[in-house]
Amino acid sequence: MNFDFSPEENAFREEVSQFISDNYPKHLTESRRAEFAKEDFLSWHRVLAEKGWVAPHWPEEFGGPGWSVTQRYIFDDECAKANTLIVLPFGITMLGPVLMHYANDAQKAHYLPRILSGEDWWCQGYSEPGSGSDLASLKTKAEHDGDDYVVNGHKIWTTLAQHADWMFCLVRTSQEDKPQKGISFLLIDMNSPGIEVRPIITIDGSHEVNEVFLTDVRVPAENLVGEEGNGWGIAKFLLGNERTGIAGVARSKNAVKRLKEISCAELVDGEPLIEDMDFKKKISELEIDLLALEYTELRTLAAESAGRGPGAESSILKIKGTEIQQKVTELIMEAVGTYSLPKIPMLDTGANYNLVGPDYSHGVSQSYFNMRKTAIYGGTNEVQRNIIAKFVLGL
């Protein structure tokens, strides 16, 4: 048992760190209030794509870098340390492996390179107004008509659909049998006639998620991935496939660092907040939880490296990881105190507003509001508990 990185791994870390500092787009490093634009995400995506690092977990034959589990961990860690924008998961992390596993050769040849290059922006058409945790009850219908499917339905909570070129979508192709059996996995061009994307503004004032209405949308039958009726299997594969980084340890460490900096700057009767025993204890408890999660993740990675793939235990990473992400934004808001109150517009409406308080106070409450989503998305934390109860504890 040892927790040391090999000299090769340390050299790799150095290489990654150097690459980021040399190549991360300068305009993304400025502190900013407004949310990032499509072009912001793509500018970093393209830099990584050119280097061959944009899809760390893809096999080399499809354009991945051929990294070990540990190298992937180091890469994520360095990106988080440098506070880079993330590479959006919808194409690279979610759809890519599905296509490699289920798609025909023509589909692979067409879509995979476009995911890597960033040419296609993907969104995920899963949830519906009546189908959240009970996803298999989804109603969006795809019916055969000549060489096409005709799709009618209503998707919701579709992240960044406003930028998307394509949507991978779960649709119902049969009403018979168990609900799970009639589901298929379709690739839908977002420019198709009959698609309407309506923004949902969330409690933090930002526009991340959308409703997508599909009315008589014609989708060529060749856009079906895998067998008709096998969409549920694909959906489960997608969820279980890529859990590295789900814990968000490195990014939470960054956030804890910011929390400590703010706690040093804020004063309580002339003394730094971080010297206040009550507040310090809260920080320590958070740090200890995070330290435990870091080692839980490393244990999972070590098991994965040894070919004992992550099981349902990795649901722990999702639950604990999101609890910590939420807690740290909560404490940052608390540390900032009254300057957490002024509302900072997240959307560029062109309106003037007064920016008051220290720089570090801007947007902290909005972050806190926004992070409530983490315990809800990707299978709520209660659904994750159900998974552990069933598959780990055998209840």
Partner 1 sequence: MDFDFTEEQTLLRNMVQSFVQDNYDFDSRMKIVRSETGMSRENWSQFAELGLLAAPFDESFGGLGGGAVDTMIITEEFGKGLVTEPFLPTVVLCGGLLERHGSDAQKDMHLPPLIGGEKIWALAYSEPKSRFNPANVQTTAKQDGDGFVLSGLKSVVNGGPWADYLIVSARTSGEGWQQDGISLFIVDKSADGVASQDYETIDGGRAADISFENVKLSPESLLGTLDAGLPLLEEALDYGIAAICGEAIGGMHKAHQATVEYCKTRNQFGVAIGSFQALQHRMVDMFMEYEQSVSLTYMVNMHVGGDAASRTRAASGAKVQIGKAGRYIGQSAVHLHGGMGMSEELNVGHYFKRLTAIDAQLGSIDYHLKRFGSSEAA
Q: Which residues are catalytic?
A: 242
Measured from the CB atom, is 4 or 147 closer to partner 1?
A: 4
Name the minimum Å distance from CB 296 to partner 1. 4
Measured from the CB atom, is 43 or 380 closer to partner 1?
A: 380
Measured from the CB atom, is 244 or 366 closer to partner 1?
A: 244
> Interface with partner 1 by CB under 8 A: which residues?
1-5, 9, 70, 277, 280-281, 283-285, 287-289, 291-296, 298-299, 302-303, 305-306, 313, 316, 319-320, 382, 385-386, 388-389, 392-395
Distance CA 374, CA 322 (A): 6
Give residue 4's region: left, alpha or beta (phi > 0; psi -120 to 50): beta
Distance CA 213, CA 215 (A): 6
Beta bridge partners of 141: 152, 172
Instruction: Give yes or no for a contact between 202 and 369, defined as CB atoms under 8 angstroms apart.
Output: yes
Q: Which helix (H) or strand (E) holds 368?
A: helix 364-370
Name the minimum Å distance from CB 317 to partner 1. 10
Name the minimum Å distance from CB 3 to partner 1. 5
User: What b/e readout covers 87-112, taking b as 16+ CB neighbours within 10 angstroms?
Assistant: bbbbbbbbbbbbbbebbeeebbeebb
Beta bridge partners of 219: 149
Amino acid making up residue 40 = D
Measured from the CB atom, is 68 or 215 closer to partner 1?
A: 68
Measured from the CB atom, is 351 or 395 closer to partner 1?
A: 395
Name the minimum Å distance from CB 188 to partner 1. 36
Strands 166-172 and 122-125: parallel
Measured from the CB atom, is 351 or 393 closer to partner 1?
A: 393
The DSSP symbol for 363 reads: T
User: What b/e readout covers 147-183, taking b as 16+ CB neighbours within 10 angstroms?
Assistant: ebbbbbbbbbbbbbbbbbebbbbbbbbeeeeebeebb
Instruction: Give yes or no for a contact between 133 and 89, defined as CB atoms under 8 angstroms apart.
Output: no
Phi, psi for residue 316 in degrees, rounded to 5: -55, -40
Instruction: Give yes or no for a contact between 70 and 305, defined as CB atoms under 8 angstroms apart.
Output: yes
The first and second tokens of residue 349, run together, are 């409406």
The first and second tokens of residue 241, run together, are 């496939």
User: What b/e readout covers 255-288, taking b as 16+ CB neighbours within 10 angstroms?
Assistant: bbebbbebbeebeeeeeebbebeebeebbeebbe
Q: Is the dihedral of CA 62, 66, 69, 74 positive or negative?
A: negative
* Residue listed under structure tokens 């109603």: 139
Name the minimum Å distance from CB 387 to partner 1. 9
Measured from the CB atom, is 206 or 300 closer to partner 1?
A: 300
DSSP SS3 for 281: helix
Name the minimum Å distance from CB 385 to partner 1. 4
Measured from the CB atom, is 172 or 318 closer to partner 1?
A: 318
Instruction: Give yes or no for a contact between 341 and 365, defined as CB atoms under 8 angstroms apart.
Output: yes
Name the minimum Å distance from CB 258 to partner 1. 15
Distance CA 206, CA 385 (A): 29
Name the minimum Å distance from CB 84 to partner 1. 23
